[in-house]
Structure 1
Amino acid sequence: MSQYRERVSVVIRTKNRERLFARALDDVLAQEFTEWHLIVVNDGGASAPIDTVLADRERALNGRAEVIHVDGGTGSMEAAANLGAQRARGEFVIIHDDDDTWAPQFLRVMVKALDADPDAVAAAARTEIIFERIDGDRSIELGRAPFVPPGEMVTIYDLLQTNRVVPIGLLVRRRVYDEIGWYDPALKAVGDWEFNLRLVRHGHVPLVGEEPLAYWHQRPHATGAASNSVFGESLDHMQFDRLVRDRAIKEYVDRNGIGGLLYLSKYIEETVRHYSLQQTIRRAMSRLGGNIRFRRR
């Protein structure tokens, strides 16, 4: 029996990446905040390596972890996230993918932010991308880049073009899932973006911290199990992004008709063509040194 309170339920979804899973597990164990419960969703991968990694850390986990082995897999990352989140016992839930990491103070700072802002439905951490490659048992860092939306809160404005908050940086109140629904298991990609669009419509999501607290690890050149879905399944991302947008457009048309969209699409096309032509003329005149003169006859 664990001696810890369980305010945060941490869901790790993993499949056949035991080295990355071990790093993620050590990352959770390194947190300054200890009032968490861990739910591991082994989504169709071999069970023995996962059980071994957990057994090696049994003492440190101190009864705070459970594992769900899904024979054959759930069918999507979103379904795996739902399976874990539905088992959550904490006040807050976060999806910690097996290849991402946190600063040691992540949970402490994020829980404090939500405790101080009871109207917030979730909190988003400033996030940094870590580019890396896997070399045997080692992960070699290649560089870093910021991944944060502007401003002090996550907004629909930020999310309309693309996702601005990845799961490793988003702590959500457990009750919110009951209020807005779970991740859409039919989306084999961009499910976190679609969830975020519903989340920000539901309530306030502040950005927390001046420095990055969450780290989204990317391996652009990796293949197979070590790859990121954003690279390894880029076609799925494009297709399901279009599907989410198409659903929303259909709902809009059902309520408002198609006229405004027809007008807007043509207006944008003609405006872009007009300014593109102007820029082409300016570039041509610049290359000619401004020597073109128009004379009256």
Structure 2
Amino acid sequence: MNTPFLSEAGEIPAGAPSRFGSDGTWPLVSVIIPFLDPPDAFLREAVASVTCQDYRPIELILANDGSSPATVSFARSLLEQTDLPGCWVEHPGGGNRGCSATRNLGAAAARGEFIAFIDADDTWADGKVAEQVELLSRDPTLALVFGSSLYWYSWSRDAAGGQQDVVRSYGAENLRRIKPPGFIADFLRGRIIAPSMSNLMVRRDAFMACGGFEECFRGMYEDQAFLVKLGLGHAVCAAPRCWDRYRQHPESMTAQADAAGAELAARRDFLAWVQSHCRAQSVMDPGLWEALNKEVWLAGQGRASGAAPQRRSLRWLRKWYLRVEELVIPDRLRYRLWGQC
């Protein structure tokens, strides 16, 4: 039996062995690309960043979420041209069911021990698959590994708008193992930037055990709902590595929601779902409930009112209050105030 790659303190034990290639075969990785009419150039770059990985075996699964005939034809041609074993999946009648259902569709077809997702407008860094397989293979108690992302503005001068590319690694500055449900509390409070789906790799058995993505989330927060489901019962690993380029452009779902002012309402819906899910799973951890209840308070009640700058100012004041509270009030008392389900 292998020694875990990471100790409870998040350190690498001296002489920790690896299962990576130990029996002469390396584990299959299933790569899933969900897509709905992305620009051809984006999809081509995403596929190329997978085929250029220095790891094998990989299977490539293209999951169509109701794209136009032209996009379908182009995507199929990419799949035929790659040297990877390929698989095409789509909903009955080529319909559109949203990103969560489409990722689940791809995962149902996956044969690999590990699953990695990449959105059709993102790309992977060289070495991503090999490095993540190594981490997951060294410690079989880990369900998921993630690192930092490059927020990618420079792909287009027009899209950049003067902004510079930036690596956001908050919460992944050091190699560490995070026990459940601490990972959820940390990303709810912003102590960890919730990893994008293009960044992480997940053990297939853990994905299936938690039920995959929540299909009621068709756009925003579908990634975080999945992370909540997985993180309630499984340990995850944060690593100080930048593994993906997260393309910033005005057609992305996040950008469109921000422009429409829908982000706050979406967050409230997400937090209400987390409360319901944790109660249904009989989660009693006071640290998680403290984080969750504080985020519900920060999001406010009822409909958003007032100008956006006023709402941001009020949220900033509330965050300042909570930070002061955590400095002066002991954990036990805070748990009494906030940690009840």
TM-score (norm 1): 0.73
1:76: how far off?
1.4
Which residue of 1 is the match for residue 138 of structure 2? 116
Which residue of 1 is the match for residue 129 of structure 2? 107
Once the two structures are superposed, the pairs formed by residues 183-198 of structure 1 within 5 Å of their partners are 183-188=213-218, 189-198=220-229
1:170 equivalent to 2:200? Answer yes
String of CA shifts for 1:236-266, please: whole Å, max 9, x gaps: 543332122123445678989xxx979x96x
Q: Which amino acid aligns with 2:142?
A: A
1:10 equivalent to 2:31? Answer yes
Q: Which amino acid aligns with 1:241?
A: R
**Structure 1 unaligned runs (5+)?**
277-297
Q: Percent sequence identity over matched residues?
A: 20
1:58: how far off?
3.2
Which residue of 2 is the match for residue 242 of structure 1? 268
1:134: how far off?
5.0
Once the two structures are superposed, the pairs formed by residues 255-266 of structure 1 within 5 Å of their partners are none
Contact 2:155/2:247, CA 8 A, preserved across alignment: no
Q: Which amino acid aligns with 1:242?
A: R
Contact 2:228/2:274, CA 8 A, preserved across alignment: no
Q: Which amino acid aligns with 1:34?
A: R
1:159 equivalent to 2:187? Answer yes
Counterpart among 211, 214, 217 of residue 181 in structure 1? 211
Distance in structure 2 (CA, Å) of the matches to 1:233 and 1:86: 29
Distance in structure 2 (CA, Å) of the matches to 1:56 and 1:72: 18
Q: How many residues end up aligned between the 2 structures? A: 254
SS of the equivalent of 2:242 reads coil
Q: Which amino acid aligns with 1:245?
A: L
Distance in structure 1 (CA, Å) of the matches to 2:54 and 2:161: 25
Which residue of 2 is the match for residue 66 of structure 1? 87
1:100: how far off?
0.9
Distance in structure 1 (CA, Å) of the matches to 2:89 and 2:263: 27
Counterpart among 62, 77, 81 of residue 40 in structure 1? 62
Distance in structure 1 (CA, Å) of the matches to 2:139 and 2:279: 36
Contact 2:64/2:94, CA 8 A, preserved across alignment: no
Counterpart among 231, 234, 246 of residue 200 in structure 1? 231
Counterpart among 49, 52, 56 of residue 30 in structure 1? 52
Q: Which amino acid aligns with 1:12?
A: I
SS of the equivalent of 2:208 reads helix
Contact 2:114/2:202, CA 8 A, preserved across alignment: yes
1:66: how far off?
1.7
Distance in structure 2 (CA, Å) of the matches to 1:14 and 1:252: 30
Which residue of 2 is the match for residue 284 of structure 1? none
Distance in structure 2 (CA, Å) of the matches to 1:108 and 1:253: 38
Counterpart among 91, 101, 110 of residue 79 in structure 1? 101
Contact 2:145/2:236, CA 8 A, preserved across alignment: yes
Distance in structure 2 (CA, Å) of the matches to 1:141 and 1:41: 34
Distance in structure 2 (CA, Å) of the matches to 1:232 and 1:33: 35
1:117: how far off?
1.1
SS of the equivalent of 2:236 reads coil
Structure having the higher Rg: 1
Distance in structure 2 (CA, Å) of the matches to 1:135 and 1:145: 15
